[in-house]
Amino acid sequence: MNVITVDGLSKTYDQGTTQVNALKDVSFNINQGEFVAVVGASGSGKSTLLHMLGGLDKPSGGYVHIDGEDLYALKEKERAVFRRRKIGFIFQAYNLIPVLNVEENIHLPLLLDHRQPDKAYINDLIHTLGLHERRRHLPSELSGGQQQRVAIGRALAYRPAIVLADEPTGNLDSANGREVIELLKLAVRQYHQTVIVITHDMNIASEADRVLHLQDGKLLNDTQSLGRDL
Ligand code: ADP
Ligand code: ADP
């Protein structure tokens, strides 16, 4: 089943007196439970695409349908609610709240949405993330890898249908990066979540069910010239 349908998506940014076409007529479908890597050179439009999929910024043209809902036909407030329910974000900057401990940071999206946490699941998640001995620690008391795992916990805590990750392993050493990818794959396998990851890491891309390769704002064929400009 298609969970994401992108049709004719384009995005133009104004940069002073010039304009940049960050995405040009991009179309694709993604099935529920797919693990998708987004690759391409710096400036090819990867972050822009992720922002559009997540309802964070309006496209200049085209459509994004998530679970059959036309994302940008929703009013701003409705889109914000929809996004919180359906989509978990993992950014390279962890964006953890410094005065909240590990457990509180992970629970935050549920609290904001007035939803009851599934305690058993979150407990499992904290264990899987290797954070059980750190659950009362503040972000400042954690290593970079641990902070990234908290950010992943926060994105997975309410089991969103879609997880969007912008270079989640970019700041991690290869062992920690490996673990992060295993966790995301687990989300796909166990909970049939759809995971879309921007990466420069060829090893990660080679493990994905699908690779979306952007070049200068255009989507190349899934198989075309993979690995040339990661
Ligand atoms: P990537 O993630 O592949 O590095 P981006 O999506 O960040 O690519 O950027 C694609 C192009 O759009 C680049 O030329 C970038 O400078 C431009 N761009 C991205 N975001 C903005 C913005 N908020 N305002 C203006 N230009 C932007
Ligand atoms: P990456 O290559 O890792 O995607 P970038 O540095 O290209 O990182 O972009 C990070 C974010 O900064 C983008 O998603 C976009 O929102 C913003 N950005 C990028 N280029 C510009 C720009 N020229 N003007 C304003 N914002 C930008």
pLDDT band at 224 (very low <50, low <70, confident <90, very high): very low
Q: State yes or no: pLDDT of 1 exceeds 80.
A: no
Smallest CA-to-CA distance from 46 within 169, 224, 180, 217 is with 217
pLDDT for position 60: 97
Cα of 211 vs centre of ligand 1, distance in Å, is: 20
Q: Write down the H helix ranges in 35-165.
A: 46-53, 76-86, 102-112, 119-128, 144-156
Neighbour-count burial for 45-63, b at 16+ CB within 10 Å, e otherwise: bbbbbbbbbbbbeebeebe
What confidence tens digit (pLDDT) does each residue in 3-30 have?
999 999 999 999 999 999 999 999 999 9
How far is residue 48's CA from residue 36's CA, in Å, rounded to a whole number? 16
pLDDT for position 225: 44
Smallest CA-to-CA distance from 145 within 164, 121, 168, 127 is with 168
Smallest CA-to-CA distance from 139 within 180, 101, 90, 94 is with 101
Task: Identify whether 162 is part of a domain.
Answer: yes
Task: Identify whether 143 is part of a domain.
Answer: yes
pLDDT for position 134: 97
Question: Which of 21, 47, 199, 200 has most ligand 2 atoms within 8 Å of its beta carbon, as the pocket-test mutant?
Answer: 47
Look at the chain and report how many structural domains it folds into: 1
27-48 mean pLDDT: 95
Element (H, E) at 185: helix 174-191
Task: Identify whether 27 is part of a domain.
Answer: no
What share of the chain has pLDDT > 70, as a percent?
96
- Would you say the CB of residue 15 lies under 6 angstroms from ligand 2? yes
For residue 138, the enclosing domain spans 33-59+76-229
Q: State yes or no: pLDDT of 91 exceeds 60.
A: yes
Task: Identify whether 105 is part of a domain.
Answer: yes
Task: Identify whether 9 is part of a domain.
Answer: no
* CATH code, domain with 213: 3.40.50.300
Answer whether 63's CB lies under 8 Å from 72's CB.
yes
Nearest ligand to the CA atom of 13: 1
pLDDT for position 42: 95
pTM: 0.84
